[in-house]
Each structure stands twice: as structure tokens, then as C-alpha cells.
Structure 1
Amino acid sequence: MTENPNAVLYRERLAPGIGMWIACVGVGLSSFLVGAPINIYAGIIAGIVMFAVVGWTLFATSPVIEVTPSVLRVGRAQIEREHVGRAYAFRGEDSRLATGPALDGRAFMCFRGWISSVVRIDITDPADPTPYWVASSRNPERIAEILNDGLPEEE
């Protein structure tokens, strides 16, 4: 039995965390306070509209990580799995190093400040100058497990 090349093995939206939603509430409250002295109903409407617009914008522009048997997508970028090498999950201090001092400037990056853990995915295409991709993920170990499945063990 052959595997469906379009079957989604992993999917994650890098949606805002609780801190960003609290900030959206702050934007709504600020808009209410600006409009309320003019008219209480205008303030309420302004607050609701601003919360909805900022919240929708944050959510709608959040990149998606998707892994299928044939393709890896991170945000708008995609690469065939045949050009994907080993993947590594990083948390804590290792994550800070992977996204800072140890980062290769040629790497493809997709970071979100509200997600501290990252996954690094090696690119094996000799025609691609990008050595690896680094992306924020709430579950980098799962992505690494899926991408490393079937690869020879590291020495």
C-alpha cells in the first residue's frame, strides 16, 4: 500500500500566545477609552472593532508549519522532502543559541516572539545555498521525530 503524498502528517499554526491576546484586549480598551467621552456607544463599538481587527490580523497572518510525505511547508516557503535532512528540536538556552549566536545568516528563518522553542531542519539540496531552516514551534520534538523517521541514526 502506498502512502498518500498529500496526507498531512503534522500541522501547526504559529498563532499568538496569551500575552498577545491580552495586548489585543488592551488595544480594545484603549479604543473604548478614546471613544467613550464622545459617546459611550461609539466607545464600545470602537473597542470591539479594534479588538476584532487586531486579533484577526494576528491570527490570519500567523504562519503554518505543515509536513506531508512529499513536502515541508513553513509559512510561505516549501521544499520537497527529498531535500530535507535531519531535524533538531531546541528549547530553553539551546533555542536561544540556535536563533542567535549559532545562527547561520544564510538560514531560512520563521520566528515568532511568543514561541520560544524552535526546530532546525537541515537542507540537503546541493543547488540550494540555504544550509537549514529554523522555525518556531510549540512542539519541535514532534516535527523532528516525523522528519527524522527513516533517516539513519546519527553517530
Structure 2
Amino acid sequence: MQTTTAPAFAERLWPSPAGWVAVPALAAMVGIVLLPLSPVAAAVGTVLGLVAAGLAAARLATRVRVADGELHAGDAHVPVALLRAPRALDADATRHELGPGLDARAHVCLRGWVRTAVRVELADPADPTPYWVVSTRRPAALVAALGGGDDRGAGAAPAA
């Protein structure tokens, strides 16, 4: 029997309000396209479009959590013991890390509607991935869950 502990950090990255507004808008477009066929087809298409778009939006809501000694970001996971120097990134620092500061070998779990993230170094000599950048709306809490209590310099982008 495998025992699991409560996650030290758990977050679901739901779409932004604008993303949820797109769900009924897409469903309405399906209904409008089907309206020339018949009003019944338009109504059925709208309902099916609403369900499909809602399920797609929910599927895009990635889970980020720290549990059982591992950081889970979407489908990827890594033992916390292999992680070093977690650093909270504000919106500007996240933009820098994902743009000019990005190493092509880095693992990125990004959701465009989340403006903040955490960068954490990977200390595994067998893995060519130098670090992870993980989107989160609660970067300070994720840093704390990863064991990085000292947040000095958080959000500051390194000089280029």
C-alpha cells in the first residue's frame, strides 16, 4: 500500500476570465454556422460546442504541485532533492526568462494567461536540462514548498 501525504503546494492554472468568455463565444459561432441548416441543428450545435469548449478549457488547466517529494508541473515531475535555488519571478522577470534569458534546454511549463512563475535549477548531472520555469499564480508559496525560504532578489532578471 502506497502512502501519500497532503501536497505542500497545489494549484490548478485555470484559464483567465477572458479565456472563459471565449467558451460561450465559440459555442455561439458553431450555432451561427449551423443556423442556415435548421434552428434545431443550430441549438444542438451550440450546446455541443459549449460542452466541447468547456471541456477543452478545463483540460488546459494544468496542475502544479509539490507532493511526495516531487515537483509536478503538468505531466512532468522531478524529485525535489534534485532542485536548487528556487526563485519567484514577477511578470517582468518571467517575460525575461521566457524571452532573451531562456536557455533552449530548459523545461518550461507555461500557461500564457499566468504572468508569474518560478525558476528552479536542476542539479542532476545525468540530465541536460539546466532549469525549469513553471507558471504559477502563487510563486512565493511554490518557492517555500520547494524549500527556498530566502526570496531576496526575487523577480529581478539577471543582467544580460
What is the TM-score with the length of structure 1 in the denominator? 0.87
User: Any conservation in 2 of the 1:28–1:51 contact (CA below 8 Å)?
Assistant: yes
1:47 maps to 46
How far apart are the structure 2 equivalents of 1:152 and 1:142? Answer: 12
Deviation at 1:125, TM superposition (A): 1.5
Q: What does the per-residue CA deviation read over 1:9-52, in whole Å, with 9 as the maximum and x for residues that have no partner?
A: 11112221111111111111111112223222221221121121
Distance change in 2, residues 1:103/1:116 (3 Å): same
Q: What does the per-residue CA deviation read over 1:66-111, in whole Å, with 9 as the maximum and x for residues that have no partner?
A: 1024111111111111101121111221111011111111100111
Q: Relative to structure 2, which stretch is displaced further, 52-61 or 71-80?
A: 52-61
User: Any conservation in 1 of the 2:87–2:151 contact (CA below 8 Å)?
Assistant: no
User: Any conservation in 1 of the 2:121–2:131 contact (CA below 8 Å)?
Assistant: yes
Q: How does 1:54-73 map to 2 (within 5 A)?
A: 54-73=53-72
**Structure 2: tracts of 5 or more residues without a match:** 154-160
User: Any conservation in 1 of the 2:88–2:151 contact (CA below 8 Å)?
Assistant: no
Q: Relative to structure 2, which stretch is displaced further, 26-35 or 57-66?
A: 57-66
Q: Over aligned residues, Cα RMSD in angstroms? A: 2.2
2:91 maps to 92
* Number of equivalences: 151
Partner SS, residue 148 of structure 1: coil
Q: How does 1:25-44 map to 2 (within 5 A)?
A: 25-44=24-43
1:142 maps to 141
Q: How does 1:64-143 map to 2 (within 5 A)?
A: 64-143=63-142
How far apart are the structure 2 equivalents of 1:52 and 1:91? Answer: 34
Deviation at 1:7, TM superposition (A): 2.5
Distance change in 2, residues 1:91/1:153 (3 Å): closer
Task: Name the % identity.
Answer: 28
